[in-house]
Structure 1
């Protein structure tokens, strides 16, 4: 299980990093004193868990939780008990009150592991829920034409228009069924069903010309040619 640690106090980061190193199947991918710096990593890398301080400059942990992928598990870490109720309203896995002991840290991690083990994936689903603004929007796979990764968000082009989300391309590459979708460029994932035709190194969907990147070309043609 991969995690990152976000806390504006370097000593708190060092402590949690030390605790995490004692748990065999918990890997710290990065640590940050500023949550803004963590956003780039979360957009580019699939992370299972975030240890997140609440009181920080620029953006609070509560605000940060609201804009990241809702599938990422969050354990809040703070010196202030008054935020506990709000953290549970945000579906945080746990709330660790500083000073944090290793036993309490371990219990929180085990709670995440238990939730992951009990998660049920319904392979028959023909839809996903996407976090956009302050709601989770249901999108049918059959309605999605393609996804375009931009600097700070992903634009999902559907039959009904465009949906914007702060989830990243890595997330969608894992979530979307690979018999229906394929990544063809660092900035594009396309629906195989909606490809109208392929012209040289471009895919045409709904009149739009989408590039096929050199890195993805071989895998794309392998998929197309069966």
Structure 2
């Protein structure tokens, strides 16, 4: 079962989503919240797999709310305004439903949730240079955190994206990406060797901090 939460301030939208969720056997509706504040309280007390999240809500938008979550469930954004689509996909949303949407379109979105659950994470989408880039995780050498920005060092280029290191790490497969320093996360498949407190990837020598060394070596040797 996929445990779902509806977050929308419009009763008509809540009712439509509730009806659609009820038609699909492997979806379980666990709650309905009218705004982001209610949703925060609900998520603190309940485990959820998927949120249907309205973007245009009072006080705190769906986008801002989703960005604020430490460990966010999968999300399908809903809105009456198409201009938010790019930002929604930048956050690696499962899908983006433009109101009013049909049951057939709803089913398409749900099928993507199932596919994502069954498939290993082999790519992510990041925004850099005013473009959305789909990046294969295998091509990432390492990530370099610069406050609210991250340098994504790839095989043949470097992209700079406005996102924290923590947020990007949450989107990557934990089996391959390990933090070596407060500012660095490396792809273990790209490591040439480890020497003392240094991790070598290609021509780059990256620091291995004492705080992260034990966990890194356990993961790297496993």
Could you say whether these structures have the same fold, taking a TM-score greater than 0.5 normalized by the shorter chain as the test? yes
Q: Report the aligned-residue RMSD.
A: 4.5
Count of residue pairs brought into register by the alignment: 184
Q: CA distance change for structure 1 residues 108 and 115 in 2, over 3 Å: closer, same or farther? A: same
Change (3 A) 1:29 1:113: closer
Shift of 1:210: 4.8
After TM superposition, the score normalised by the length of structure 1 is 0.55
Matched, 1:67 2:90: yes
Q: Distance in 1 between matches of 2:209 and 2:16?
A: 41
Match of 2:206 among 205, 208, 211: 208
* Separation in structure 2 between the aligned mates of residue 150 and residue 17 of structure 1, nearest angstrom: 43
Structure number with greater CO (CA < 8 Å, separation at least 6) is 1
Q: Secondary structure at the match of 2:65?
A: helix
Partner of 1:172: 172
What is the DSSP-based 3-state SS (H/G/I as helix, E as strand, rest coil) of the residue aligned with 1:61? Answer: helix
TM-score by length of 2: 0.56
Q: Does 1:47 align with 2:47?
A: no
Q: Secondary structure, in 3 states, of the residue corresponding to 2:73?
A: coil
Whole-angstrom CA distance in 2 between matches of 1:223 and 1:51: 35
User: Which residue of 2 is the match for residue 148 of structure 1?
Assistant: 144
Q: Which runs of 5+ in 2 are unaligned?
A: 31-47
Question: Offset of 1:189 from its aligned partner?
Answer: 2.5
Q: Is the 8 A contact 1:203 1:212 kept in 2?
A: no
Residue 76 of structure 1, aligned match among 98, 119, 142? 98
How far 1:209 sits from its partner (Å)? 2.1
- 3-state SS of 2:28 partner: coil
